[in-house]
Structure 1
Amino acid sequence: MKKLLCFAVFAGCLVLALTACGGKDTGASTQKESTDTNSTDEAKTDTTSTEKKTLTKAGESLKDPNVGTVTAYSVKDASNKSLQIGDLKIMFKDAKVLTMSDLTDDYKATLEEAFGKKMNEVTFAQITYDIENVGSDEIKTWNGFETAVNSEGLQIDLRFNDTLGAANPAEMEILAGAKVPNNLVLVPVKKGESNVRIKAADVLKDANAKDFLTRGKEIKIDL
């Protein structure tokens, strides 16, 4: 069963479709975003604000009571990247390298469940994207991004995203002409990672359709 967390800070944006423990909405989409600080030093001290729920610059940091301290190592625009798999169009938005430290006990337990080992700090590449079914038929199943390869060639299974409650689709149906915004996938990386390759799942339609199966594709995202 998917373990949904209070995960607003992971997104680094105000539009995560995630729910908090117990099924309540995180409020991430309605929280007022604080004004950006003018320097990295000021950003690093901005860890007590309850209003700031987005990290837009490298060096910015905030505290989340459900995770710990979240610091942006890098923030890059990825809006020039897109991927099309059959009738599924994927439009990327941004890529952030985020480090979680001073972790809460609950979040440590969730990481141990996801990765099978105890962790006191973790760094993820967080890649956000929108999707659209540009065809005239319903997409019956799409499972988001399933596999990644880091810049050192290490292949990574991304199924842990479900355990962490990340908005990387699982068994999603997408109606003809429908758009589904504000998705994201998390990839474990090292600080300073230059890029990752992520591969999307196959796109499945009704078995009677000529193009009922379109194999997934991969794309490289700079970090």
Structure 2
Amino acid sequence: MSLFAPDRAFSAFLFDMDGTLLSSIAAAERVWTAWARRHGVDAEALLAHLHGRRAIDTIRALNLPGVDAVAEAAAITQAEINDVDGVAPIAGAPAFLAALPVGHWAVVTSAPRALAERRMAAAGLPIPAVLITAEDVGNGKPAPDGYRLAAARLGMETHNCVVFEDAPAGIQAGETAGAAVVVISATHQQPLDTAHPSVTSYEGLRPEASAGGGWRIGRA
């Protein structure tokens, strides 16, 4: 059944942040490129695998000798908080979020809370009642922990939720959590190979109350 079918309804909407609700690619890549150069890391290769994961997980995976991953992740987070130049909402995201019922949507991001709040504010987006960040889970994406926790805090089951994602790690997290997945491709430079429905942005979409209960994804 299509996610956009009139009889397909969800109890909650769960959103990734970077690349899904807002674009922060330029700012993130500026900070990470500078960090990579300081540590002798191939910046281009690093950026290719950066998005959708927690900073500390990215640094630990590099296994750099003498590097304190916790301290470096904290420094990167502060640099990203300081640099929000160019951070902007994905087209249609503000209106889509404004139409959602309170208590039926959440944001699940790999960013630390301070950075998430900074970027959401810079993009002019509201902070939801449930915001799951890097500090809230022991295992970041692609583990499903964040989406499961968000659904639980909303009082929902993940199999009754729809996840909006843009990166492979997050898509896998949504899949493993048992949720339906919609891929937002606004920031993709190349098409993403995915079996999930993909839309460029939220323009032309709107949440609608379903006659049978819950909320569906309608087309404006």
**TM-score normalised according to structure 2 size:** 0.27
Structure that is richer in helix per residue? 2
Q: Which has the higher strand share?
A: 1
Which structure would you say has the larger RCO, counting Cα contacts within 8 Å and 6 or more residues apart?
2
TM-score of the aligned structures, taking structure 1 as reference length: 0.27
